Amino acid sequence: MKILHIPSWFPQVDNPLDGNFILKHIATTAADTTAIVLHHTKGHVDIPIISHDGNIIFHPIEVSHSMSKWQLYKAYVRAFDEIVARYGRPDVIHLHVALPLGFLAARLSRKYRIPLVVSEHWSVYYQENRFLLTSLQKLALHYIFHTVRHITTVSEYLHTAIVEMLPKAKNIPYTIVSNTVNTNLFCTKPCQPHGKKQILHISNLEQESKNIMGILHVIKRLSQQRSDFELNIIHDLANLQVEQFIRQENLGNCVHLLGKKTEEEVAEAIQNCDFMLQFSNYETQSCVLLEAFCCGKPAVATPVGGIPEIATADNTVFTEPCNEDDCLEKIAFMLDHFQNFNAEEIQKQAAAKCDSVIIGKKFLNIYQQMVQ
């Protein structure tokens, strides 16, 4: 069975982790299908033009900033013809995130009568974010979902938001498919000895969704009350405002910016922390919380988006979004009680949701329904 994957988000030089969770989804069925990834790149990426590494065939299109949308569309159509000539007609087109490439995927689906599956991760469907879409984008979404045969979302919350925005989607079969976690890597391990209690936050230091400044405000106040903790922050991108705040508020002794880490290093950092901290304003699911839970680590987190579908009282102390007083109280509580959480039970419940084998079976079942 040949699956043509069209990811709207794909790792780029200036954002190497953009859509990395999409690649993990694709990899879950690569051993059981001919998985072809058609994507564009604005510069060099560590993927050859045609690669069979990991049973995935990558077919990149090199683009420039000067290309018009019509030129990009034509480049994709030519690449599609090349793929058909080389590997044969795909059995299923799997679109990962509807925009900006959904119009292309829908046109190919209609022209060649190939069933279209869409997997959505984007929080733009949420009521508070819909203003970010232009009228033309909203029209494109209606066209795309009129063509889609099956929808997958990483949370029930996200699917509900899609249906509220696009009523047509209510009649399309859907499956909740969690983000996947390498449970061989993200697993429970003995914590390395450390003097102070270790809090870990992982994000891109973005304010709008992750509320990074809110976290720093809370940690500043906490540091005035106690000195038995450290906050370590793994982040992919620099944030001068964050760096300046840490310097000005003399937080260097308790807040450490660790920069970008490999997946192996992220797993090790989670395994050596005492609990995770997420103070998000919105989330579609939260990959980092899934990874933490697979390592048996509890969290302080806001119950936003899809987080309540993976977080419970057994693994999380919930704090109110944007409420720094409440967040301060909940972090202080967790510093004194994180040992009371059952790491083995946290790991077991998380792995049942996001293990790559389980995710792969869900996707394969959808593909098989499409070709029947």
Q: 52-110, pLDDT tens digit by residue?
A: 455 799 998 888 878 888 999 999 999 999 999 999 999 999 999 999 999 999 999 99
pLDDT of res. 136: 95
pLDDT of res. 54: 59
Say what percent of the chain tops pLDDT 90. Answer: 82
Domains held by the chain: number: 2
Whether 28 is covered by a domain: the verdict is yes
Q: What angle do CA 305, 307, 313 make, to 5 degrees?
A: 140
Q: Give yes or no for residue 307 having a pLDDT over 90.
A: yes
Interatomic CA distance for residues 50 and 153, integer angstroms: 29
Q: Which pTM was predicted?
A: 0.88
Residue 138 identity (one-letter amino acid) = K
DSSP state of 181: B
Q: Give yes or no for residue 51 having a pLDDT over 90.
A: no
Same domain, 218 and 324: yes
Same domain, 344 and 359: no
Residue 276 belongs to what domain range?
Answer: 197-353
Q: Which residues contact 334 (CB under 8 A, 6 or more apart)?
A: 275, 298, 300, 317
Same domain, 122 and 242: no
pLDDT of res. 237: 81
Model pLDDT for residues 32-46, shown as the tens digit of each residue:
999 999 998 876 544
Whole-number Cα distances in Å, 332 to 102, 219, 281, 357: 45, 10, 20, 37
Give the domain CATH number at 348. Answer: 3.40.50.2000
Q: Which of 282, 254, 232 is nearest to 125 (CA)?
A: 282
Q: Give yes or no for residue 50 having a pLDDT over 60.
A: no
What's the pLDDT band for 48 if we cut at 50, 70, 90?
very low
Interatomic CA distance for residues 215 and 212, integer angstroms: 5
Model pLDDT for residues 78-91, shown as the tens digit of each residue:
999 999 999 999 99
pLDDT of res. 17: 66
What integer is the mean pLDDT of 20-29? 91
Same domain, 54 and 82: yes
DSSP state of 46: S
What's the pLDDT band for 194 if we cut at 50, 70, 90?
confident
Interatomic CA distance for residues 306 and 122, integer angstroms: 12
Question: Is 80 within 8 Å of 108 (Cβ atoms)?
Answer: yes
Whether 259 is covered by a domain: the verdict is yes
Same domain, 255 and 174: no
Model pLDDT for residues 271-306, shown as the tens digit of each residue:
999 999 999 999 989 999 999 999 999 999 999 999
Give me the residue label for tokens 């799997």.
Answer: 94
Same domain, 41 and 173: yes
Same domain, 118 and 144: yes
Interatomic CA distance for residues 202 and 139, integer angstroms: 35
Same domain, 332 and 273: yes
Q: Which residues contact 166 (CB under 8 A, 6 or more apart)?
A: 141, 142, 145
Same domain, 171 and 279: no
Which structure tokens are listed for 150?
């099956």
Detail the DSSP E strand segments found in 267-331.
Answer: 275-277, 299-301, 316-318
The DSSP-derived string for 100-122 is TTHHHHHHHHHHHT--EEEEE--
Same domain, 234 and 290: yes
Model pLDDT for residues 164-179, shown as the tens digit of each residue:
999 999 999 999 999 9
Question: Is 282 within 8 Å of 305 (Cβ atoms)?
Answer: yes
Burial class of 303 by CB neighbour count within 10 A (0 to 12, 13 to 18, 19+): middle
Same domain, 160 and 219: no
Residue 101 identity (one-letter amino acid) = L
Same domain, 157 and 239: no
pLDDT of res. 49: 46
Model pLDDT for residues 132-160, shown as the tens digit of each residue:
999 999 999 999 999 999 999 999 999 99
- Within its chain, how far is the Cα of 100 from the centroid? 17
Model pLDDT for residues 205-251, shown as the tens digit of each residue:
989 999 999 999 999 999 999 999 999 999 988 899 999 999 999 99
pLDDT of res. 53: 55
Sign of CA dihedral 93, 99, 101, 104: positive
For residue 254, the tally of other CB atoms under 10 A from its CB is 20
Q: Give yes or no for residue 343 having a pLDDT over 80.
A: yes
